[in-house]
Amino acid sequence: MPANQNIKVAVDAVVFGYTSKEGLSVLLIKRNIDPFKNSWALPGGLVGDDESLEEAVQRELKEETGVNINYLEQLYSFGKPGRDPRNRVISITYYGLVKPDAFELQAATDAADVAWFKIKKLPQLAFDHQEILQAAHERLKSKMLYQPVGFELLEEKFPFSELEKLYMAVLDRPIDRRNFKKKVIKFGFLEETTEKQELSGAGRPGNLFRFNQQKYFQLQKQGINFEL
């Protein structure tokens, strides 16, 4: 028996931001059309007939937020009947982690506004976007446990404490700092420099570190295991 289909395909993007001062945040738009007009939501929209999924999600991000990200990782497909009151819509979702201050936000098309929200101070979200965001956060936490990510969010040279803060912000829990440092240094993709960190108060300044991408990609090919 042939299937009776009238299904639309959309893309949604969960863009996480991180700064040492603000911690982990997520990029949201305020919708200027129904349904859920004036509600906050993830940036996204329908895929054009002549677009790939990747082209569509990058276009929607650029149009609604002004943000242009070269790489987003595919997360999951969300397709419960009724998730969009207008049509049966399946959303292919993507997620990424960026530096918020690297972009100038600009709302357009279906977005009346765009802003970064701290992950622990989120407004109520439209559609099933809270579920999507939660799935993306869990995936990001899981990935950071087996594969070091986020070095591009730090300065070229940084104190080791900044890497610890990044991990604690994303994982949303304390880490065993001594064990964490021992494991990271053992892999060899982090190099200690002779430069010292600048301290505003009293204390002994520690050395700065830098990320060795070549060593990291070599270990990645071999199958790195970064379980904390």
pLDDT at 86 over 60: yes
Residue type, 116: W
From CA 16, how far away is CA 225, in angstroms rounded? Answer: 24
Most confident of 37-51, 138-152, 177-191, 199-213: 37-51
User: What b-and-e string marks burial along 103-140, b requiring 16 or more CB atoms within 10 Å of the CB?
Assistant: bebebeebbeebebeebeeeeebbbbbeebbebbbebb
Q: Are strands 207-211 and 158-159 parallel, antiparallel or unpaired?
A: antiparallel
Q: Are strands 7-19 and 88-98 parallel, antiparallel or unpaired?
A: parallel
pLDDT, tens digit, 9 for 90 and up, residues 155-187: 889 999 999 999 999 999 999 988 888 888 888
Least confident of 3-7, 75-79, 104-108: 3-7
From CA 149, how far away is CA 169, in angstroms rounded? Answer: 13
Quote the pLDDT of residue 225. 66
From CA 163, how far away is CA 133, in angstroms rounded? Answer: 24
State how far the alpha carbon of 201 is from the alpha carbons of 157, 162, 164, 204, 205, in Å. Answer: 20, 17, 20, 9, 10
Of 3.40.50.1220, 1.10.580.10, 3.40.50.2300, 1.10.10.10, which CATH number belongs to 148-222?
1.10.10.10
For the chain, the farthest-separated pair of C-alpha atoms sits apart, in whole angstroms, at 76
Give phi and psi for 97, each to the nearest 5.
-130, 125
pTM of the model: 0.90
Sorting pLDDT into bands at 50, 70 and 90, what band is 189? confident
- Residue ranges of domains in the chain: 7-145, 148-222
Query: Do the first three CATH levels of 7-145 and 148-222 match, i.e. the same topology?
Result: no
Burial of 42 (0-12, 13-18, 19+ CB in 10 A): buried
Q: Average pLDDT over the chain, rounded to whole? A: 90
Quote the pLDDT of residue 153. 85
CATH architecture of 7-145: Alpha-Beta Complex (3.90)
Residue type, 146: Y
